[in-house]
């Protein structure tokens, strides 16, 4: 099983980026804990999707910390890496999105895989659940669903995909701003529909998906249609994983299992979140869930 970490958003000036802010007692990054948890859950390979110009510094800063512990490969997300016949305007500088990032895995990942963001602390249980799904399922995809109450910060609102499901399968995600409103959780959909209050146990997406290699082939083929449909907005449009997943669900092309986890998400959405994350990691270490030095 392979863990794919989307890290192309990391720039070459590492010093001010939250993805490589030290949060562990020995300078560990969030990404170090992600890989440690994945190894404990049975993953045998990690693939970093990065920008080619960052390869050397990324390898020296992060890669060397895990080489020898798990098989490591690198894939470059290049705006020029598109199917034959697709033309991207020269003026386009912004990356083409998470769907395009997975397109770049073609020829490198030929096995079931889990994809995550580089800057989110997902928690051990999420990797255990994802590994169990990949080992036992041969056809469906899956999304790891977090209890909404386990994904909030005390310091402001966060963007989450509020999950609608039926019989354990995903039917829709409502992209929303979510925040604590006193002792309640307020969900404000980004599409303008009326906001509502959620229960702590309602599920949200943290962009942790379980895919099979056929997803990579689909993305490369479907990208041509995406470009055709967005040709008036080629300087700003993004090819995003959730959009593609839901288009395929609505076309009855795939089924996506919702797998709930009791893991607690941590991240650094606001600068004030860093101290909370450091304290949480120290508490996990004191409980024996992580060694003092991983």
Q: DSSP of 103-125, one letter per residue?
A: HTTTTT--S-EEEEETT-B--HH
Q: Give the start-end residues of each E strand in 51-112.
A: 71-76
What are the two backbone dihedrals, phi and then psi, of residue 246, each rounded to the nearest 5 degrees?
A: -75, -30
In CATH, which superfamily holds the domain spanning 2-286?
Spore Coat Polysaccharide Biosynthesis Protein SpsA; Chain A (3.90.550.10)
Per the CB < 8 A criterion, the answer to whether 24 and 37 are in contact is no
pTM of the model: 0.91
Q: Which residue has the tokens 């928690």?
A: 123
Report which DSSP code applies to 168.
Answer: T
How far is CA 204 from each of CA 126, 143, 153, 160, 167, rounded to the nearest angstrom?
Answer: 13, 10, 14, 6, 16
User: Are 116 and 245 within 8 A, CB to CB?
Assistant: no
Average pLDDT per consecutive 10 residues, the chain (294 residues; last block may be shorter): 87 50 90 96 96 87 89 93 85 87 95 94 96 90 97 93 95 94 95 94 95 95 89 83 92 95 90 91 96 92
What pLDDT, on the 0 to 100 scale, is given for residue 2? 97
Distance CA 24, CA 29 (A): 7
Tokens of 211: 């895919």
Count the neighbouring beta carbons within 10 Å of the beta carbon of residue 283: 10
Cβ neighbours of residue 274 under 8 Å, at least 6 residues apart?
18, 21, 23, 268
Provide the pLDDT for residue 18.
56
What's the confidence (pLDDT) of residue 231?
A: 73
């Amino acid at each position: 099983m392979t863990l794919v970490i989307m890290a192309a958003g990391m720039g070459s000036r590492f010093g001010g980026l939250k993805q490589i802010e030290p949060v562990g007692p020995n300078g560990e990054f969030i990404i170090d804990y992600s890989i440690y948890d994945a190894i404990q859950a049975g993953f045998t390979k990690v693939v970093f999707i990065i920008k080619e110009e960052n390869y050397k510094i990324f390898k020296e800063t992060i890669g060397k910390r895990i080489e020898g512990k798990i098989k490591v490969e690198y894939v470059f997300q290049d705006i020029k890496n598109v199917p034959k016949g697709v033309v991207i305007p020269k003026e386009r500088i912004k990356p083409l999105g998470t769907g395009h990032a997975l397109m770049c895995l073609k020829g490198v990942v030929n096995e079931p895989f889990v994809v995550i963001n580089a800057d989110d602390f997902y928690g051990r249980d999420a990797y255990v659940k994802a590994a169990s799904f990949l080992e036992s399922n041969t056809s469906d995809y899956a999304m790891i669903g977090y209890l909404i109450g386990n994904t909030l910060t005390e310091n402001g609102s966060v963007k989450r995909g509020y999950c609608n499901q039926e019989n354990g399968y995903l039917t829709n995600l409502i992209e929303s701003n979510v925040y604590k409103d006193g002792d309640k959780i307020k969900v404000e959909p980004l599409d303008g529909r009326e906001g509502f209050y959620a229960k702590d146990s309602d599920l949200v997406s943290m962009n942790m998906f379980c895919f099979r290699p056929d997803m990579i082939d689909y993305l490369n083929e479907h990208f041509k249609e995406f470009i055709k449909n967005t040709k008036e907005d080629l300087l700003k449009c993004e090819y995003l994983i959730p959009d593609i997943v839901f288009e395929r669900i609505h076309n009855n092309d795939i089924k996506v299992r919702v797998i709930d986890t009791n893991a607690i998400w941590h991240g650094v959405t606001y600068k004030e979140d860093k101290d909370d994350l450091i304290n949480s990691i120290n508490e996990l270490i004191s409980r024996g869930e992580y060694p003092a030095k991983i």
